[in-house]
Amino acid sequence: MTDTSLYRSLPSVDRLLSEEGVMDLAQTYGHELVASCLRFLLDEARVEIKARHALPSWTSDWTGALCKKLKERTHASLRPVFNLTGVVLHTNLGRACQAEAAIEAVTRAMREAVTLEYDLGQGKRGHRDAVVSELLREITGAEAACVVNNNAAAVLLMFAAMADGKEAIASRGELIEIGGSFRIPDVMRQAGCRLIEVGTTNRTHLCDYQNAINENTALLVKVHTSNYRIEGFTAAVSEAELAVLGRETGIPVASDLGSGALVDLSVYDLVAESMPQQMLRDGVGLVSFSGDKLLGGPQAGIVVGRADHIQRLQTHPLKRALRCDKMTIAALEATLRLYLRADQLPQSLPTLRYLTRKPQAIKTQADQLLPLCQALFGAQFIVRSEACFSQIGSGSLPLNTLPSWSLTFMARDGRGRTLESLSEYWHTLEKPIIGRIADNKLWLDLRCVDDDKALAQALRDAVPPMVSSP
């Protein structure tokens, strides 16, 4: 057939719309969307004719092709996945999974009017940070607190409110970059303050800060180097030492803590993380940390500290631009309330539940799923139950790993491509399964699996077409 006759053989949108199967789809998805998808498919067919001088194979089943396209178009892009990467706080997968109490609080706040900035006692305008400030004071011992969109915003606000047009002193060993182009020197520039770098990459002493202080100094800064560690011949000034210098000179001290655990993680046999409570006791004026890292709540940036400093943050014009919405506040309040029952936290807070799971329990889970996986995937893959290490994630030290357990898949043909196509196929599932390829194997770390049955069901539907099911 010539191209011209091929083009002519394509049906019109109107003719397709009058077909029974298409009419049914129009009932479900609406006329507009169906017509738009049909036009899209016709364009695709024309492109194919031009390139290959033939009709694409799917033109033999317009209804089928339309159905597929409609599903693609209407599928939510933000989808739940099985996080089997072994990274508990995976930034690309939304960090902390929320506690049930937080989920309920957010749902209520979304559906109904809430007392976000309404003081019921006074019947007048209240402050949106009031609810969480009270809890944060109780938990951390701070005089006051301020909540913004994320910790990056909290750091920006601290610098802007405390040192705009002035100098802020920070150690060269702490000028961090974290993912997504957040660099301390850039943030300071945006905040309008001048960074005075002191010390060297590996060693900074108290006298370095002392010598840099002048009449323009407005802030002494500590940054938690969460995602790397300098080892060997090193020296750093502690928050406590810097706080003493701050007191002597009358210059406020601010600390960007990054993760900031609100409970002592060593109680759970985890590596102890710096806690805001301790820094405040040490005399640091402002401490900032994330809501969705070790705290296990929603994305938020929290600053706790001295009432007069917090007041400067609250009244700075940037605060209005960086403030949290009611959903964040609702989730954060509910999460913080769980900290008042700290004994129940490892059950009530998913992040802590995942971090504290015993490798033996995860192994049992893997061993139970193993026979099913071997039956389903055995033709093409050698499936095993193997020890591995999980990571906390979100800028917690990559070196702090947690012993865990995985199902591993090794391609019988030994080709990396086979492994990659399995992983890619799992990404196309209704609820994608996300593992990790390392050492020529695809690893499914079961640390973050709450529902074995749901995973087993997902795996039953996860056999790629090239593999025949048993």
Ligand X SMILES: *Cc1c(COP(=O)(O)O)cnc(C)c1O
| CB of 316 or CB of 363, closer to ligand X | 316
User: By beta-carbon distance, which residue lies closest to ligand X?
Assistant: 258
User: What's the closest the beta carbon of residue 154 comes to ligand X, in angstroms?
Assistant: 8
User: What's the closest the beta carbon of residue 391 comes to ligand X, in angstroms?
Assistant: 14
User: What's the closest the beta carbon of residue 176 comes to ligand X, in angstroms?
Assistant: 6
| CB of 302 or CB of 433, closer to ligand X | 302
Which stretches of the chain bind ligand X, using CB under 6 A?
150-152, 155, 176, 178, 182, 223-224, 226, 256, 258-259, 290, 301, 395
User: What's the closest the beta carbon of residue 320 comes to ligand X, in angstroms?
Assistant: 18
| CB of 182 or CB of 389, closer to ligand X | 182
Q: Are strands 436-438 and 177-178 parallel, antiparallel or unpaired?
A: unpaired
Residue type, 74: T
User: What's the closest the beta carbon of residue 78 comes to ligand X, in angstroms?
Assistant: 18
Beta bridge partners of 260: none
Q: Which CA distances in Å does 217 have to 85, 251, 320?
A: 45, 7, 26
User: What's the closest the beta carbon of residue 452 comes to ligand X, in angstroms?
Assistant: 31
| CB of 95 or CB of 306, closer to ligand X | 95
- The alpha carbon dihedral of 443, 446, 448, 450 has a sign of positive
User: What's the closest the beta carbon of residue 199 comes to ligand X, in angstroms?
Assistant: 18
| CB of 293 or CB of 363, closer to ligand X | 293
| CB of 108 or CB of 183, closer to ligand X | 183
Q: Could you give the CA distance from residue 80 to residue 276 in angstroms, rounded to a whole number?
A: 32
Report which of 418, 410, 415 is spatially closest to residue 441, judged by C-alpha positions: 410
Q: Could you give the CA distance from residue 214 to residue 235 in angstroms, rounded to a whole number?
A: 23
| CB of 184 or CB of 455, closer to ligand X | 184
